[in-house]
């Protein structure tokens, strides 16, 4: 019983985001030109810097079963974590994980504090304008966690109007909820128990999130008045590794390793281990597309 309680607690932690020189005969570049040159040179050299240091620095949350979490031995694991570990292993690199909330990951990449982020992150059009993404290593779709007793009075995306939705401040799921009229209640890098308890007790009405992650969260709390909405499957998604914009060489290297892992079955093996089904392949379910006017 003690071990079962320990496992439930762990599952509850789910969830729920060099300047270029000039010759003396050349005119001095203005500040904007210097900034552009510095950024370009940094981008070109990042993969070389990683090889020289022998280490990848990677942001992840550590609270997102089954993507990124701490197991019973307090070891960081999960599908995203193990995919990154395997990439580093095949590149003969060490990997150092930095634990942070989803809202801090993309700024940390942009500032150069970390090399990559791996935390079930979706490469939307707006994010692609600011960051590079690997090829997808996970495919899924969005759903809702609602109260089992009354469906939280939600039977369609339009029914989010006026509801309270638990979520991270900058996640795609919160953007979806807001677009359809929900008020988003934010939690930071909180565990899944906080999100799901609030739906159960009526403080909030719904959690919009990834199908696989939501399934694990609901299963962890059988005494809560919650369920995966049986009728709502929407917004097919891909998840990928994030890195700074312009890092073409690093992106190519990671994509080559991911392609090897897909071809030799490693992605399928890891996805099945953590999700009990192959989340590394595209879904064949009938999944509703979002309103085309929504900009994610």
Neighbour-count burial of 34, counting CB atoms closer than 10 A to its CB (0-12 exposed, 13-18 middle, 19+ buried): middle
Helix (H/G/I), strand (E/B), else coil: 294? coil
Q: What is the pTM of this model?
A: 0.77
Collapsing DSSP states into helix, strand and coil, what is residue 9?
A: helix
Q: Give the start-to-end residue ranges of the domains of the chain.
A: 11-18+33-138+239-275, 139-236
Looking up tokens 């079955």 gives 265
139-236 is a CATH 2.130.10.10 domain: no
Distances (CA, A) of 291 to 179, 261, 273, 288: 9, 35, 34, 9
Spatial distance between the Cα atoms of 160 and 165, rounded to a whole number of angstroms: 8
How many C-beta neighbours within 10 Å does residue 249 have?
15
pLDDT at residue 138 in the model: 98
pLDDT one digit per residue (tens) for the chain, 296 residues: 433 344 443 444 444 333 333 333 333 445 444 444 444 444 457 999 999 999 999 999 998 888 999 999 999 999 999 999 999 999 999 999 999 988 899 999 999 999 999 999 999 999 999 999 999 999 999 999 999 999 999 999 999 999 999 988 778 999 999 999 999 998 877 777 888 999 999 999 999 999 998 998 899 899 999 999 999 999 999 999 999 999 999 999 999 999 999 999 999 999 999 999 999 998 777 899 888 888 87
11-18+33-138+239-275 and 139-236 share one fold: yes
Catalogue the E-assigned strands of 173-272. Answer: 183-186, 207-210, 227-228, 234-239, 242-244
- CATH hierarchy code of domain 11-18+33-138+239-275: 3.40.190.10
Q: What is the dihedral of CA 3, 220, 14, 71, to 10 degrees?
A: 20
Residue matched to tokens 């989340």 = 279
What six digits make up the tokens of 93? 């690199």
Residue ranges in 112-163 assigned as alpha helix (H): 125-128
Q: What is the DSSP string of 51-105?
A: HHHTEEEEEE-SEETTTEEE-TTS-EESHHHHHHHHHHHHTT-EEEEEE--HHHH
Give the three-class secondary structure for 146.
strand
């Amino acid at each position: 019983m003690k071990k079962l309680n320990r496992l439930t607690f762990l599952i509850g932690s789910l969830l729920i985001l060099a300047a270029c020189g000039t010759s003396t005969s050349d005119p001095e570049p203005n500040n904007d030109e210097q900034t552009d040159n510095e950024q370009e040179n940094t981008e070109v050299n990042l993969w070389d810097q990683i090889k020289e240091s022998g280490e990848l620095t990677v942001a992840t949350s550590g609270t997102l079963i089954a993507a990124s979490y701490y197991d019973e031995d307090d070891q960081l694991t999960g599908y995203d974590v193990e995919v990154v570990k395997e990439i580093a292993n095949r590149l003969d690199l060490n990997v150092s994980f930095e634990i942070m909330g989803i809202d801090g990951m993309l700024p940390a990449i942009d500032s150069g504090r970390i090399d990559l982020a791996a935390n079930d992150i979706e490469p939307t059009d707006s994010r692609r304008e600011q960051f590079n993404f690997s090829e997808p290593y996970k495919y899924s779709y969005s759903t809702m966690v609602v109260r089992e007793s009354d469906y939280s009075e939600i039977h369609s995306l339009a029914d989010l109007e006026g509801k309270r939705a638990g979520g991270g401040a900058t996640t795609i799921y919160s953007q979806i909820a807001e677009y359809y009229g929900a008020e988003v209640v934010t939690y930071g890098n909180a565990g899944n128990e906080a999100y799901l308890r609030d739906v159960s007790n009526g403080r909030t009405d719904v959690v919009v999130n990834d199908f696989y992650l939501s399934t694990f969260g609901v299963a962890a709390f059988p005494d809560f008045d919650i369920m995966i909405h049986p009728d709502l499957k929407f917004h097919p998604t891909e998840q990928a590794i994030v890195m700074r914009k312009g890092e073409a060489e690093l992106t190519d290297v990671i994509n080559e390793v991911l392609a090897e892992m897909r071809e030799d079955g490693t992605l399928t093996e890891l996805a099945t281990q953590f999700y009990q089904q192959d989340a590394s392949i595209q879904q064949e379910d009938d999944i509703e597309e979002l309103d085309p006017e929504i900009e994610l």
